[in-house]
């Protein structure tokens, strides 16, 4: 079944997680605090280390107390603030906030430029990302099932597949 992606600022997003309203609020109104810590990975590629880094940053934040990261879902430990649910969590999260972001730099909050927030950018080898993303797309109903790995790879290289949100690897990573 085809998935109809929404587009915001020239970038494709799966509608199950994002809306124009949440993305617009994130970009134009979300206030970044100086003590926020952002866990950023390649645009919406869930297989690019976000969960790994969430665990690491959660342990640092909780002073190596594993109970916090073991009893609270990672989506609550570090909400992805540009999604419907993550935005609500991110706004009410106590300071210092740990937030996850899969957005390209040009779609992030405008207030980024005027803050001294910390950004941890996790970068994986694009070959690992494309293989993992291809398998993930087959499992997740929010993404179109790739017709073949070869087509998925072509789309990835051209910035035309859903995990890349309409960005080439260099453009998505280069903005940071």
6, β-bridge pairs = 13
Which range scores top for mean pLDDT: 13-17, 43-47, 136-140, 147-151? 147-151
DSSP 44-67: T-TTSSHHHHHHHHHHHHTTT-HH
Above 70 in pLDDT, residue 142? no
Calpha distance 12→143 (Å, rounded): 11
Average pLDDT for the chain: 79
Nearest 5°: phi and psi at 96? -75, 140
Domain definitions of the chain by residue range: 6-174
Which among 27, 61, 102, 161 is annotated as catalytic? 102
Q: Please determine, for residue 108, whether its predicted confidence score (pLDDT) is greater than 80.
A: yes
């300071």: which residue's tokens? Answer: 95
pLDDT tens readout for residues 59-76: 888 888 777 767 777 667
Tell me if residue 61 is catalytic: no
Residues 79/89, Cβ–Cβ less than 8 Å? yes
Report the DSSP beta bridge partners of residue 120: 39
pTM of the model: 0.79
Top CATH class, 6-174: alpha beta
pLDDT score of 86 more than 80:
no
């Amino acid at each position: 079944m085809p998935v109809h992606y929404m587009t915001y600022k020239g970038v494709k997003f799966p509608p199950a997680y994002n809306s124009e309203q949440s993305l617009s609020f994130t970009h134009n109104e979300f206030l970044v605090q100086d003590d926020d810590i952002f866990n950023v990975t390649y645009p919406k590629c869930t297989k690019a280390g976000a969960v790994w880094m969430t665990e690491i940053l959660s342990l640092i934040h909780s002073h190596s107390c594993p109970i916090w990261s073991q009893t609270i879902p990672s989506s609550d430990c570090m909400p992805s603030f540009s999604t419907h649910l993550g935005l609500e969590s991110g706004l009410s999260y106590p300071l210092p906030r740990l937030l996850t972001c899969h957005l390209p730099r040009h779609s992030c909050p405008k207030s980024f430029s005027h803050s001294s927030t910390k950004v941890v950018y996790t970068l994986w080898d694009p070959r690992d990302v494309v293989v993992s993303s291809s398998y993930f797309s087959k499992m997740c109903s929010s993404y179109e099932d790739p017709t073949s790995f070869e087509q998925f790879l072509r789309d990835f290289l051209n910035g035309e597949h859903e995990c890349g949100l309409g960005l080439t690897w260099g453009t998505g990573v280069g903005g940071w």
